Amino acid sequence: MSWQRAHRIAGFEIAFGRYLQWLMRRSFARVLVRSEGDFPTAGYVAAANHHSWWDGFLALTIHRSFAPERPINVMMDDEQLRRFPFFRFGGAFSVDASSVRAAYPAIRYGAACARDGAGVWIFPDGVLRPALCEPAFTSGFVHAARAAEVPVLPVAMRYVFLGEQRPTAIAALGAPCDPHARSLQAQTQARVTALLASIDEDLRAQRVDGRYREIARGNAGIDAIVAACIAPLRSKR
């Protein structure tokens, strides 16, 4: 496993960014974000729940919306990164999560990236969990944040259909946490669980549009195209 920092080849990074924009527009109706605090102005470690293959793409979209000039790194399972090596051009780096000892090089690498000013996204669940399951975090993100002396950003993610052909990606960002706070692992897990519950409540109360900021909009789906076609007919009635 190589821990060389880069893969930051300008042409590939620009191409990957354009690919990301195209993929999100093609796959989602909208990407919505709500933040409970100021987004970190320097390096940080984000700890997010993990229940979809799309989580890494959503992490990239969020970071580039809030901090477009700063690099991002996403910790990704070693096997998955070998299957999709092009993710390295978007800042992904691999982790062997078979044991704490095996994961240590990835944690150390992530800490170095965050110390240098990057946003480092970690999914402490380690595996994909069904959307209705509560997070069960491991401690790697705590070690990375403390080694780098950067805040931890709690993040909750959901993917839902809101009456459109394509799903909407929704994220809630908690206020950044002091990396040296006591019981940081348990507190962050509890915060992400609460953020997930708040998203669900916003959905039930139908107040998503009033509380979340749209950071990306998808291409028109069949639903929007059909609605546009029949609108003139309705106006003639």
Please give the pLDDT value at position 11.
61
Q: Is 3 a member of any domain?
A: no
Burial 183-199 (b: 16+ CB within 10 A, else e): ebbebbbebbbebbebb
**Where residue 3 falls among pLDDT bands split at 50, 70, 90?**
very low
Q: Is 101 a member of any domain?
A: yes
Query: What distance in Å separates the CA atoms of residue 90 and residue 139, rounded to the nearest whole number?
Result: 24
Q: Is 4 a member of any domain?
A: no
Query: What distance in Å separates the CA atoms of residue 141 and residue 235, rounded to the nearest whole number?
Result: 56
Q: Is 132 a member of any domain?
A: yes
Question: In this structure, what CATH number is given to the domain that contains residue 53?
Answer: 3.40.1130
Q: What is the pLDDT of residues 4-26, one digit of tens each?
A: 444 455 566 677 888 889 999 99
Q: What is the pLDDT of residues 104-163, one digit of tens each?
A: 999 999 999 999 999 999 999 988 898 888 999 999 999 999 999 999 999 999 999 998
Please give the pLDDT value at position 223.
56
Q: Which residues partner with 44 through β-bridges?
A: 119
**170, two tokens:** 């929704």
> Residue 157: which domain range?
10-235
Q: Is the predicted pLDDT of residue 220 greater than 90, yes or no?
A: no
Q: Is 5 a member of any domain?
A: no
Average pLDDT over residues 82-102: 85
Question: Among positive and negative, which fits the CA dihedral 53, 167, 201, 130?
Answer: negative
Q: Is 2 a member of any domain?
A: no
Please choose, from the candidates 153, 154, 185, 137, the residue with its C-alpha nearest in 3D space to the C-alpha of residue 43. 153
Please give the pLDDT value at position 20.
87
Please give the pLDDT value at position 131.
85
Residue pair 47/192 in contact by the 8 Å Cβ criterion: yes
**Where residue 80 falls among pLDDT bands split at 50, 70, 90?**
confident
Please give the pLDDT value at position 115.
97
- Report helix, strand or coil for 208: helix
Q: Is 92 a member of any domain?
A: yes
Q: How many domains in the chain? A: 1
Q: What is the pLDDT of residues 157-199, one digit of tens each?
A: 999 999 899 999 999 999 999 999 999 999 999 999 999 999 9
pTM: 0.87
Query: What distance in Å separates the CA atoms of residue 218 and residue 162, rounded to the nearest whole number?
Result: 13
Q: Is 156 a member of any domain?
A: yes
Torsion of CA 77, 196, 170, 47, to 10 degrees: -40
